[in-house]
Amino acid sequence: MKLFFRIIFKIFLILTILAGCATTEEIKETDSDELLNQGTALLEEGQSEELLNQGTALLEEGQSEELLNQGIALLEEGQYDRAIDDFDKAIKINPRYASAYYNRGIAYDTKGQYEKAISDYSKAIEINPGYAWVYNNRGIAYFGKSQYDKAISDYSKAIEINPRYARAYDNRGLAYYRKGDYDKAISDCSKAIEINPKLANAYNNRGLAYYYKGLNYKACSDFKWACEFGFCKGYEFAKRKGGC
């Protein structure tokens, strides 16, 4: 019986690789002897149904991961509705798939459907509360709804999880700027620049805060740096206003 199961198990691994559910390297990392012993024990105990359930679960996990990867590729191509469809299918297979909720949230966020984005980010956080970038993205969705205090709360949580998260500092700085708290905006954007000296948005956002504090020479310097790193809107704005 054990020889029979070993043969079946090897066939299953080959089919798993061919189906794209796992790579050869992942299979090598699998404790195949342990799985073999578990499977043999289940067969000998007459628990073939349990063995089938385990195999089905493995296949479904591979299917949901494949759908996630397809969705991410479509997301990067700007095909948001098709991406959402793949994420829907992945979630239907695995309702606890945090990455699928997170990426579907990005798709909804990009489409301007902030409530749906917030709902998906919240579900991802419920499943796995340790990912700083999910809080950051939910903060962006709240920012899109002009709910700046909620955005700041989420950016702060992202920073609590990852104190070196430059974009979270920059995003929180922009939220403070929108609230008219220019000093806090400058402080956060400065921290973002300290962590990532080439973060164009942080220079631009700090420049806006300096500009509205009347510190035009500092604003102009930041706008120029932002433009140097590829973001020129603030510099063009300041030139039109005669500030640079």
Res. 239 pLDDT band, cuts 50 70 90: confident
According to the model, what pLDDT value does residue 63 have?
80
- CB contact at 8 A, 71 and 100: yes
In one-letter notation, the amino acid at residue 73 is A
Angle formed by the axes of helices 166-178 and 148-161, nearest 10°: 160
According to the model, what pLDDT value does residue 125 have?
97
Above 60 in pLDDT, residue 153? yes
Max avg pLDDT among 3-7, 66-70, 177-181? 177-181
pLDDT, the chain, mean: 83
According to the model, what pLDDT value does residue 53 have?
44
Identify the CATH assignment for 57-115 out of 3.30.9.10, 3.60.15.10, 1.25.40.10, 3.30.1330.40. Answer: 1.25.40.10
Of 201, 176, 199, 198, nearest to 187 by C-alpha is 176
pLDDT digits (tens, 9 = 90+) for 182-222: 999 999 999 999 999 999 999 999 999 999 999 999 999 99
Q: What predicted TM-score, i.e. pTM, was given to this entire model?
A: 0.74
Distance CA 124, CA 103 (A): 9
According to the model, what pLDDT value does residue 242 have?
80
According to the model, what pLDDT value does residue 37 have?
57
64 CB-near residues (< 8 Å, 6+ apart): 89, 90, 91, 93, 94, 97, 100
Of 128, 33, 227, nearest to 239 by C-alpha is 227
Of 192, 131, 199, 140, nearest to 162 by C-alpha is 131
What are the residue boundaries of the structural domains of the chain, listed by start?
Answer: 57-115
Above 70 in pLDDT, residue 20? no
Angle formed by the axes of helices 114-127 and 98-110, nearest 10°: 160
According to the model, what pLDDT value does residue 21 have?
46
Instruction: Pick the range with the lowest mean pLDDT from 72-76, 115-119, 156-160.
Output: 72-76
Of 112, 99, 104, nearest to 75 by C-alpha is 104
Res. 40 pLDDT band, cuts 50 70 90: low
Instruction: Pick the range with the lowest mean pLDDT from 17-31, 98-112, 120-134, 163-177.
Output: 17-31
Distance CA 15, CA 185 (A): 55
pLDDT digits (tens, 9 = 90+) for 121-130: 999 999 999 9
Above 50 in pLDDT, residue 102? yes
Of 183, 169, 179, 163, nearest to 139 by C-alpha is 169
Above 80 in pLDDT, residue 156? yes
Res. 157 pLDDT band, cuts 50 70 90: very high
According to the model, what pLDDT value does residue 240 have?
87
- CB contact at 8 A, 51 and 45: no
